[in-house]
Structure 1
C-alpha cells in the first residue's frame, strides 16, 4: 500500500480547511439574513375558543403583514398550560416557535412542584402583550344578578355553589374572591375557557371566572350575566359592570395578562424584531380597534420590562401559595 505523499496530505488539508471556511461563510450569511426566513408558529397552551386563543389569532393576522411570513396559531391544551409550554421550552431557540400564555405561566411553579420546566430559566421574554380584567359571570339559569345575591346565597348554603376556572391565574381570582367575601364555594376546573363557558351557558355551571376576551360575545348575546370585574377601575368595554370592590368585596383587585415568550437562548435580535413587529401591528388602527374590542389593554412591554414583571409575578405567587390562595390544577 502506497503512503500518501506530503504534497497530497497538504492539498487534502488545504481542501478541508477551504471546506470549513466555506461552511463558516455560509453560516455567517444565514445568520446575517433578516429574520424570519420561514413561517412563524404561535403556540397557545389552551383549548381553541378561549380568550388567549381569540387574542392570539387576531394578533397573528397583523404579524403576518409585518413579518412577511405565514404566522400560524397552534393549540396544545392540557395541565393548566403546562403541556404546550413544555413543548416550547424544549424547542430550538431559532425564532420559529413562540408561546403566548397568561399570567398562569409564572404561577405554575407554585402550584405544580413537578413542573418539567422553570419559567424564569427555560423561557426568553419577548413582550407583554396585554393586561385585562377578569370577570365573575353567572349562568342565566341562576337567580344571580348581583355579587351581593351570590354572596348571600353562598353564606346560606356553604359549598353548594360551583365556580368554574380554566387556568391557575383564573383559579387565583376565584379563590381570592371566596377568601375576601368570606364564603365557601366549590371550584370546578376545566381544560379551557371554551368548554367552561359552554357549561355556563347550558346552565350546568352556576358561576365562572373568565377573561373579558372570552366572555364578551356571550355577554353581548345575553347568554351569560356579568356580575363584576376584578380590576380597581371599571372596564371601558363593560362600563355598566361594577368592580368587585364596588359590588361589596373590599380589597379585591387583580388583572390578568397575555405575554409572548420563546425558548431560552433566543437571540436578542430576534426578540427585539418580534417586539418591533408587535408594536407595528398594533399601530394599525383596524388591528388595535379589534383587539381593544376584546377588552384588552394594549400596553405592550419589551423583553427587558417583561422580564422584570415576570420576576415580580414570581414573588407574588410565592406569597399567594404560602397564603393558600393557589391550588394545583387537579385539586
Structure 2
C-alpha cells in the first residue's frame, strides 16, 4: 500500500489546519440576540404570531429573541432588509404568502423571493376571514353581495398584503360584484377602522382578528378555507355562504438570507419545533387559530417552489395584476 511519506504528511498538516473550513471548530450559535423581522405593522397577524414564539424560542436558544417591525410596500421593505443582512444567523424574516406572491404583483422588486432567501421553517397555515364592521346593515355574505350589486363600487374592503389582496379580489370576482379595495400597512389598522366603523369590510387572518371577534367588536362573515375553522365553528366557509368554488389559505414561514449556513437553519428549525411543542405556546397559538404543522428547510423549499408556480400560473391567467 502506498501513500504520502510520513514526513510530507507532517509538513502538510499545518497548512491543512489553516485552510478555511478544514478541521476548524465552528463557533457555537447563537451567542447574542436573534432578531426576527416582521415586514408589517405591530398588532397584525404576522406580528402576533411571531411574538407568540419569542419567549419560548429565547428559552430554547438560550439567547434573547426580539421582533422588529419593518412595515411598508406590501412587506417588501422588511423583506429587503432580511435579504441584504449578513447571513450569520442573527436576523431572520417571518412572512406570509405575500413573500412569494410579491414578485408577481410588484414591479422592480429589489430581491428575488426564491433566490435571495434560505428556507428555515413553514410555521403555520391558517384560514383568512371576511370580516365586517358592526356599523354595516348586512349581516352575512349574501347580504353583502346584495348590497354590492345594488350599489357597485360603494363598499370598501381593507387589505394589508398581496395574499390578502388576492383573497379579497378573488371573492369579488367569484361573487360577481364590484367593491373598492383599500390597502393598509398592516392588519391592525384595518381592524381599528372596522371597530370604529370607518371601514365596512376587511380581510384578516384568524390570528389578527380573534381578539376583536371574541369581544364582539367586529363580525366574521366567512372563512376562506374549504372547511370551517374549529376556532370559529359557527362561521360558514365562503363557499357555504354563497360563493361556490371559493378556497384560499394563508401561511407563515421563517426564512433567512440566502447564504445562511445550513447547520444554523437546521438548528433554528429544531428550536422552533421545540418551542411550538411547549404546552403554553401550543395553547396560545391554537387560541388564535394557528395550525401547528411545521415543516423543515427542505420541505419548505419545495413548498415555496410550488407556491411560486401557483402564482406564476395565476399571473399568466390574469387572476392577479401588477401593482402600479
- Same fold, TM-score > 0.5, yes or no: yes
CA drift of 1:325 comes to: 3.0
Native 8 Å contact 2:138 2:147 kept in 1: no
1:40 maps to 2:34: yes
CA distance in 2, matches of 1:40, 1:27: 27
Within 5 A, what are the aligned runs for 1:1-331?
Answer: 28-29=24-25, 31=26, 33-329=27-323
Aligned to 1:160, what secondary structure does the other structure show? coil
CA drift of 1:323 comes to: 3.3
CA drift of 1:21 comes to: 6.8
CA drift of 1:19 comes to: 12
CA deviations 1:91-115 (Å, max 9, x no partner) are 1111000000000000000001200
CA drift of 1:55 comes to: 0.3
Which structure: larger Rg?
1
Residue of structure 1 equivalent to 2:7 = none
CA distance in 1, matches of 2:16, 2:225: 59
Native 8 Å contact 2:17 2:24 kept in 1: no
Q: How many residues align?
A: 312
CA deviations 1:222-272 (Å, max 9, x no partner) are 110100000001001000100001101100010000000000011111111
CA drift of 1:35 comes to: 1.4
CA drift of 1:283 comes to: 1.4
CA distance in 1, matches of 2:45, 2:95: 10
Aligned to 2:101, what secondary structure does the other structure show? helix
Aligned to 1:246, what secondary structure does the other structure show? helix
CA deviations 1:66-91 (Å, max 9, x no partner) are 00000011000000000000000001
CA 211–264 in structure 1, closer or farther in 2 if over 3 Å, else same: same
- Say what the alpha-carbon RMSD is for the aligned residues: 1.9
CA distance in 1, matches of 2:131, 2:318: 23
CA distance in 1, matches of 2:304, 2:202: 26
Native 8 Å contact 1:127 1:275 kept in 2: yes
Aligned to 2:122, what secondary structure does the other structure show? strand
Native 8 Å contact 2:17 2:23 kept in 1: no
Aligned to 1:273, what secondary structure does the other structure show? helix
Native 8 Å contact 1:168 1:326 kept in 2: no
Aligned to 2:127, what secondary structure does the other structure show? strand
What is the TM-score when the length of structure 2 is the normalising length? Answer: 0.92
CA deviations 1:180-199 (Å, max 9, x no partner) are 11111110000111111111
- 5+ residue gaps, structure 1: 1-17
CA 153–70 in structure 1, closer or farther in 2 if over 3 Å, else same: same
CA distance in 2, matches of 1:325, 1:150: 22
CA distance in 2, matches of 1:236, 1:327: 33
